[in-house]
Amino acid sequence: MLRIPRLLCLSLLWAPFLYGQKKNEAWKLPISRAVSPIKIDGIIDEEAWKHAAVATDFRMVLPMDTSAAKLRTDVRMLYDQQRLYILVENYTQGSGPYMVESLRRDFAFLKNDNFIFFMDPFDDQTNGFSFGANAAGAQWDGLMYDGGKVDLSWDNKWVSAVKNYPDKWVFEAAIPFKSIRYKKGIMQWGINFSRNDLKTTEKSAWAPVPRQFPTASLAYTGTLQWDTIPPAAGPNISIIPYVLGGLAKNYDTKGNTTWRRDAGLDAKIGITSSLNLDLTVNPDFSQVDVDKQVTNLDRFELFFPEKRQFFLENGDQFSNFGYSTIRPFFSRRIGLGVPIQFGARLSGKLNRNWRLGLMNMQTAAKEEVGLPSQNYTVAALQRRVFSRSNVGFIFINKESLNYHPEDEAQKPLYSRYNRNMGLEYNLASSNNFWTGKAMLLKSYSPGREGSDYAHAANLQYTSKVWNVGWQHEYVGHNFNAEVGYVPRQGYIKIAPQITRLFFPVSGAVLSHGPQVTGTMFMDEHFNRTDNETMLNYGIVFRKRNTLNIWGSNTYIRLLQPFDPTNTGKDSLLVGSSHSWNTVGADYVSQPQQLFTYAFSARYGGYYAGGRRLMLNSELGYRFQPYVSIALSANYNHIALMQPWGNQSFWLVGPRLDVTMTNTLFFTGFMQYNQQQKNINLNTRLQWRYRPASDLFIVYTDNYLPEPMYIRNRALVLKLVYWFNI
């Protein structure tokens, strides 16, 4: 097992002490109890708002962070016994419509005039909640983690309204205390307000944030100062049942139409104001967005993100342990091809410094393929250290029930158990300039002992003009994470990178500069197997369009047989070496236009002396605010010797989003994947007839494109209702 380099160890230890004080302590917004009832309508006519303190004088973040914001934004906050209230006046300049993508919930930040605020109820600069809206009234809500990231898959009960005026648009919202988690007795919450205006291309924040960081960065929040201890949320129990009906037919097997009738239940129980118990019985995820397909020319398993609601709240404590390709826990492994029978998760804050996560899930057996019933247990504990850093522990256990492979003469298809245990240290300095992580994992599986460790560490420095980083990884050939995402074993990886930015004082270019990255893989005996070196030059324009031009050199020595087209043809030999050069460019248009587009291209060598051309485009047009049309197209042409020859793969995905109101949505998404020889159609109608309660109608089709032939289709109607007790 590799040891962390001495310099990296020292950096991880001393970096937290470089900056010990919260950056924006001078920014304070007093919040008091409302003196009159408040109606959420975007009209400022209540007596209570006249007595509320005002947060104003926002600072510009983009295009530059050296001046006051051009646009005025005024924010007021109040509370009563049950709810937290916010009122925002977003003043504008010039004529013309507001720029919004649609009324779709959890909109794309860069393509909308919007106001979003970030709350840190524990004032720990690490975890929190985000709420907001665009200028047409579409809501945004998400869970915050890692000090500045937002998971928009989280939805909860709250109400808001947006009203447009000639010189401003007003956002007003009420958030029940039951919808968020906070520690009783804390009278100072971290908070910041962010404004994005596409007509002026200005992004601003109340408490100033350096331009190299997102305005969601909790390292730069101001303070929400309560006049007394915030009200207790009270009994916080939510029951969320669903009923479902549907039909499906598989034309490939010439089966009959099957009818589906199902029901299930979720429950949320507030153990304390900051610790929550989630329960689920027979969960169904038929309404979840389909994955966006990719043309797979990689040697390793592809990653698709989790989208199921149950796994998302406080899920970062489980799913973000490790690195992007060394995840000991990946929730999509649970319920893969089999139904989940029931599950429970206890998660949240124990106090300002301790955070806990416990989860247990039970899946059914699948007798036709010999898959036993399986139980999954995950435990995570996190301790805050220094100003914003933390130390974490994780334990994962996958257990096959009533399964005895020792009784079988042949090698078992599934192991009796798989366990992983690990520690990690997450570094985040108080000003966010220094970030990093050091991690150690060990797996336990029958018959796989020795070289069953994984270790990785990185350290990154980010200033306005420099971004310098180092990362290394080690994964033993017997390391086994069956409930994780670790696509590669038996390697050592080293990956340094450095970026330098320049800022012209005038002209169309806001910033530009080179970036050099290197990635080297070796086997456990330090023999080189892969290497890629890339030089990129990036340009950011003042209108927010971007251009990147790059070139790379690649070397690969195959450790496993590999079909370079991933179509089931012949494979290249183990031990064969391949090297090539590639050039490419990426361009993203201005986000404030009704018609937006992005193009990328690459051309160069490929395996076995071949050549590869890749073209990719993303086109979008919006009929504000009701209709958004998008088209993604990817083309790969590979020229190889026989038996592969010339191969071309198209992947085309038109998408239609119709938002008739901010509670009635229709989405249609079609994907044509030439490599997989499949056409997939998915449509979904969603009616949010009351907060967090929905009616879904989902229709899916799969076709074989040549000749056009129906493979399977399904129609599902699902009703979800959220009861508060």
- Both 2 and 97 in one domain: the answer is no
Average pLDDT taken over every residue of the chain: 89
Q: Specify the higher pLDDT residue, 350 or 172.
A: 172
- Both 55 and 157 in one domain: the answer is yes
- Both 345 and 476 in one domain: the answer is yes
Rounded Cα–Cα distance for residues 560 and 576 (Å)? 10
Is 578:608 a contact under the CB 8 Å cutoff? yes
Poorest-confidence range of 179-183, 251-255, 411-415? 411-415
In 34-187, which ranges are E strands? 54-55, 59-62, 73-79, 83-91, 114-120, 128-134, 139-145, 149-151, 159-164, 168-176
**Six token digits for residue 24:** 């924006």
Helix (H, G, I), strand (E, B) or coil at 6: helix
pLDDT at 21: 55
pTM to 2 decimals?
A: 0.86
Helix (H, G, I), strand (E, B) or coil at 111: helix
At residue 407 the predicted structure's pLDDT band, cuts being 50, 70 and 90, is: low
Is 380:356 a contact under the CB 8 Å cutoff? yes
- Both 333 and 363 in one domain: the answer is yes
pLDDT at 4: 40
At residue 431 the predicted structure's pLDDT band, cuts being 50, 70 and 90, is: confident
- Measured in whole angstroms, the distance separating CA 458 from the mean position of its chain's CA atoms is 21
Q: Is residue 458 part of a domain?
A: yes
Q: Specify the higher pLDDT residue, 314 or 437.
A: 437
- Measured in whole angstroms, the distance separating CA 286 from the mean position of its chain's CA atoms is 20
pLDDT at 405: 67
Q: Which of 488, 508, 528 is the last residue of a domain?
A: 488
In 606-692, which ranges are E strands? 611-623, 627-639, 646-661, 664-673, 678-690
| Length reported for the chain | 725
pLDDT at 410: 42
Rounded Cα–Cα distance for residues 133 and 400 (Å)? 46
Query: What is the signed CA dihedral for 384, 387, 389, 393, rounded to 10 degrees?
Result: -10
pLDDT at 409: 41
- Both 48 and 174 in one domain: the answer is yes
pLDDT at 406: 62
**pLDDT, tens digit, 9 for 90 and up, residues 31-50:** 999 999 999 999 999 999 99
Strand partners, 385: 389
Phi, psi of 89 (to 5 degrees): -105, 115
Q: Which of 423, 456, 488 is the last residue of a domain?
A: 488
Poorest-confidence range of 97-111, 554-568, 582-596, 664-678? 97-111
Q: Is residue 649 part of a domain?
A: no
Rounded Cα–Cα distance for residues 398 and 378 (Å)? 9
At residue 235 the predicted structure's pLDDT band, cuts being 50, 70 and 90, is: confident
Q: Is residue 266 part of a domain?
A: no
Q: Is residue 661 part of a domain?
A: no
Q: How many other C-beta atoms can be found within 10 angstroms of the C-beta atom of residue 383?
A: 13
- Both 13 and 156 in one domain: the answer is no
pLDDT at 14 over 50: no
At residue 414 the predicted structure's pLDDT band, cuts being 50, 70 and 90, is: low
DSSP state, residue 289:
P
**Six token digits for residue 536:** 């990129």
Q: Is residue 320 part of a domain?
A: yes
pLDDT at 217: 92
**Six token digits for residue 604:** 């160069």
pLDDT at 65: 86
Q: Is residue 413 part of a domain?
A: yes
Q: Is residue 82 part of a domain?
A: yes
pLDDT at 412: 56
Cα–Cα distances (Å) from 6 to 11, 13, 471, in that order, read 9, 11, 14
Helix (H, G, I), strand (E, B) or coil at 20: coil
- Both 38 and 181 in one domain: the answer is yes
Q: Specify the higher pLDDT residue, 629 or 25.
A: 629
pLDDT at 94: 77
- Both 123 and 195 in one domain: the answer is yes
pLDDT at 372 over 60: yes
pLDDT at 602 over 90: yes
**pLDDT, tens digit, 9 for 90 and up, residues 112-152:** 999 999 999 988 888 889 999 999 999 999 888 888 888 88
Poorest-confidence range of 224-233, 506-515, 703-712? 703-712
- Kind and range of the H or E run holding 47: helix 47-50
Q: How many other C-beta atoms can be found within 10 angstroms of the C-beta atom of residue 507?
A: 8
- Both 116 and 183 in one domain: the answer is yes
**pLDDT, tens digit, 9 for 90 and up, residues 544-579:** 899 999 999 999 999 999 999 988 888 999 999 999
Closest CA to 361 of 382, 327, 336, 391: 336
Rounded Cα–Cα distance for residues 515 and 533 (Å)? 11
- Tell me whether strands 611-623 and 595-605 are parallel, antiparallel or unpaired: antiparallel
Q: For a pLDDT cut of 90, what percent of the chain falls above it?
A: 62
pLDDT at 18 over 60: no
- Both 457 and 330 in one domain: the answer is yes
Q: Which domain holds residue 450?
A: 1-19+305-488
DSSP state, residue 573:
P
Q: Is residue 439 part of a domain?
A: yes
pLDDT at 1 over 50: no
Is 582:602 a contact under the CB 8 Å cutoff? yes
Q: Specify the higher pLDDT residue, 109 or 637.
A: 637
Q: Which of 210, 226, 242 is the last residue of a domain?
A: 226
pLDDT at 22: 63
Q: How many other C-beta atoms can be found within 10 angstroms of the C-beta atom of residue 687?
A: 17
- Tell me whether strands 222-226 and 237-250 are parallel, antiparallel or unpaired: unpaired
- Both 6 and 38 in one domain: the answer is no
Phi, psi of 218 (to 5 degrees): -75, -10
Which domain CATH number covers 178? Answer: 2.60.40.1190
Closest CA to 583 of 545, 618, 632, 548: 548
- Both 3 and 50 in one domain: the answer is no
Helix (H, G, I), strand (E, B) or coil at 167: coil
**Six token digits for residue 10:** 């020292």
Q: What is the tally of structural domains in the chain?
A: 2
